[in-house]
Amino acid sequence: LRRNPGEAEFHQAVREVFDTLGPVVRKHPQYVEAAVLERLCEPERQIIFRVPWVDDAGRVQINRGFRVEYNSALGPYKGGLRFHPSVYLGIVKFLGFEQIFKNALTGMPIGGGKGGSDFDPRGRSDGEVMRFCQSFMTELYRHLGEHTDVPAGDIGVGGREIGYLFGQYKRITNRYESGVLTGKGVAWGGSLVRTEATGYGTVMFTQEMLRTSGRELDGLRVSVSGGGNVAIHAIEKAQQLGATVLTFSDSSGYVVDEAGVDLALLKDVKEVQRGRAADYVARRPGARLVTDGRVWDVPVDVALPCATQNELLVDDAKVLLSNGVLAVAEGANMPTDPGAVALLQESGVLFGPGKAANAGGVATSALEMQQNASRDSWTFEYAEGRLDEIMTGIHDRCAATAEEYGAPGNYVLGANIAGFLRVADAIVALGVI
């Protein structure tokens, strides 16, 4: 705490993992001798830089850029870039820390990292976003490389931003190094299914959890928070599997659509118009926008928080429980407050932590890297099949680990321990570096 003052989200993420590691550390003293936990608290490298750019009015704007290269025991640093005004070092470190375990859990050769900026893309023109991305990459490029550090998207960073970032990387280095960024457009080195992967994977994971109690998503009512990449594709996959999705949200409020969210309209509003929840409601008879409540008040069987950290609190969990929720899975990173997680788990709700449930995004990024390395491009069906296998594998690994450590059904413990074991073994094997 003294070394990382004021980084509340980072402390929360570390505590949440370390709280579950007691049985592992007792069983494997070599991790204590090798100071694995201490090493996991200290990123290998933290880069903070100034990002100057010129807005449409000709004014110079200054933002702060970050890249935390957290742990590379298993492979090059891998993790997204977040552009949101709330970004500061504590957010980037929490996300980078989580990313280590998530990436380990996928079974793929990728280390953990995260980055971003306090730049707010909302309300900015394409030209402003492009100039910002170019300036950001003008510093970041020297730290990247397909064998070194491979960023992707996150909040505020989608296909448009990855395009501008990749363009500037290519220009500065004079290298068409596709494997340096993932989430690229399919025409220029991207992978089919990468856009959909996080949301799809979250729902695939949910389906696997439900099956352990003899249920399926088909016919269930689902609430989703967020209205961005993860939320939209979670809605899409849940609908494909026969569920009715009643909600989505953005920072202006949440939408209830009793007839089920109209996905084509939502995509048009969010992806084409870059509009707000109110724009959806204006074009959708029967849907309503709630600006002074909680999306978790809507009675559902399954809740999928897909917006941001700490968006599902203890009181929300109480409401979900009183409405008979069966499963909660985290499409976002750390959206559920630790007290809410404990309450849901004690009450017998199937709870899928983000490290496991939203790992489909980074896993498909690793598939994009594979395609880039072999100069190949797979079909949608093949890539989705691989994603499905990966999500089932992650689910089964978490479940088996939870069982082995005496906590059957505890996916939080299973994910933390399974991820930790893989990365800890690599850290010990590589010596004190």
Which residues are annotated as part of the binding site for substrate?
A: 78, 99, 102, 153, 365
Q: Which residue is nearest to ligand NDP (CB)?
A: 228
Least Å from the CB of residue 22 to ligand NDP:
27
- Of 62-70, 105-113, 329-337, 413-421: span binding ligand NDP (CB under 6 A): 329-337
Among 74, 108, 307, 317, which residue sits at the site for ligand NDP (rule: CB under 6 A)?
A: 307
What is the nearest approach in angstroms of ligand NDP to the Cβ of residue 212?
A: 23
Contact between 331 and ligand NDP by CB under 6 A: the answer reads yes
The 133-172 site mask, x for binding ligand NDP (CB under 6 A), equals --------------------xxxx-x--------------
Closest CA to 53 of 138, 151, 167, 158: 138
User: Is residue 113 close enough to count as binding ligand NDP by CB under 6 A?
Assistant: no
Residue nearer to ligand NDP on the CB measure, 119 or 405: 119
191 counts as binding ligand NDP under rule CB under 6 A: no
Tell me which of 206, 308, 336, 410 binds ligand NDP, using CB under 6 A: 308
* Smallest separation (angstroms) from ligand NDP to the CB of 373: 20
State which residue, 43 or 335, has the beta carbon closest to ligand NDP: 335
* Contact between 130 and ligand NDP per CB under 6 A: no
Tell me the number of residues near ligand NDP by CB under 6 A: 24
Degrees, nearest 5: CA angle 274-280-284: 150
Residue 332 binds ligand NDP, judged by CB under 6 A: yes
Contact of 350 with 304, CB cutoff 8 Å: no
Q: Does 230 bind ligand NDP (CB under 6 A)?
A: yes
**Residue among 24 and 228 whose Cβ is closer to ligand NDP:** 228
Q: Which is nearer to ligand NDP, 14 or 193 (CB)?
A: 193
Annotated active-site positions, please? 114
Residue 13 binding ligand NDP, by CB under 6 A: no
Quote the least distance from Cβ 128 to ligand NDP, whole Å: 17
Residue 227, interface with ligand NDP (CB under 6 A)?
A: yes
SS3 letters for the chain?
Answer: CCCCCCCHHHHHHHHHHHCCCHHHHHHCHHHHHCCHHHHHCCCCEEEEEEEEEECCCCCEEEEEEEEEEEECCCCCEEEEEEECCCCCHHHHHHHHHHHHHHHHHCCCCCCEEEEEECCCCCCCCHHHHHHHHHHHHHHHHHHCECCCEEEECECCECHHHHHHHHHHHHHHHCCCCHHHCCCCCHHHCCCCCHHHHHHHHHHHHHHHHHHCCCCCCCCCEEEEECCCHHHHHHHHHHHHCCCEEEEEEECCEEEECCCCCCHHHHHHHHHHCCCCHHHHHHCCCCCEEECCCCHHHCCCCEEEECCCCCCECHHHHHHHHHCCCCEEECCCCCCECHHHHHHHHHCCCEEECHHHHCCHHHHHHHHHHHHHHCCCCCCHHHHHHHHHHHHHHHHHHHHHHHHHCCCCCCHHHHHHHHHHHHHHHHHHHCCCC
Least Å from the CB of residue 429 to ligand NDP: 28
Kindly indicate which of the ranges 45-53, 300-308, 371-379, 381-389 contains the residues binding ligand NDP, using the contact rule CB under 6 A.
300-308
Which residues fall in the annotated binding site for NAD(+)? 198, 229
| Residues making contact with ligand NDP (CB under 6 A) | 84, 86, 153-156, 158, 198, 226-231, 250-251, 306-308, 331-333, 358, 361
